[in-house]
């Protein structure tokens, strides 16, 4: 069965949008960190490293869906780490 390439492209962009929304869920943890309710450092550190690696992979493959999905995770993960210190 051959899957239409346009369909696959749309799935990729939909997944990228959902990933971006997932990274922005860290905003609530950042808010809590700033209010003195510090969260775990482990998850945002791993998220940041993961997103950096996926972004580099996406850049190497010139896959803008992967890059677009992971760049926000670098920033929100790093900010979450910094505010949790």
Q: Which class would CATH give 5-84?
A: mainly alpha
Task: Give the pLDDT of residue 1.
Answer: 65
The domain spans of the chain are 5-84
Per residue in 4-41, pLDDT (tens digit) is: 889 988 999 999 999 999 888 899 999 999 999 999 99
Per residue in 53-84, pLDDT (tens digit) is: 999 999 999 999 999 999 999 999 999 999 99
pLDDT band for 42, please (50, 70, 90 cuts).
very high
Q: Look at residue 2 and tell me whether its pLDDT is greater than 80.
A: no
Backbone φ and ψ of 51, nearest 5°: -70, -35
């Amino acid at each position: 069965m051959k899957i239409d390439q346009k369909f696959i492209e749309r799935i990729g962009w939909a997944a990228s949008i959902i990933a971006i929304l997932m990274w922005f869920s860290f905003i609530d943890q950042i808010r809590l960190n700033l209010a003195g309710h510090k969260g775990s450092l482990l998850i945002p550190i791993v998220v940041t490293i993961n997103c950096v690696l996926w972004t580099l992979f996406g850049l190497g493959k010139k896959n803008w869906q992967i890059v677009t999905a992971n760049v926000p995770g670098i920033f929100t993960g790093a900010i979450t780490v910094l505010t949790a210190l």
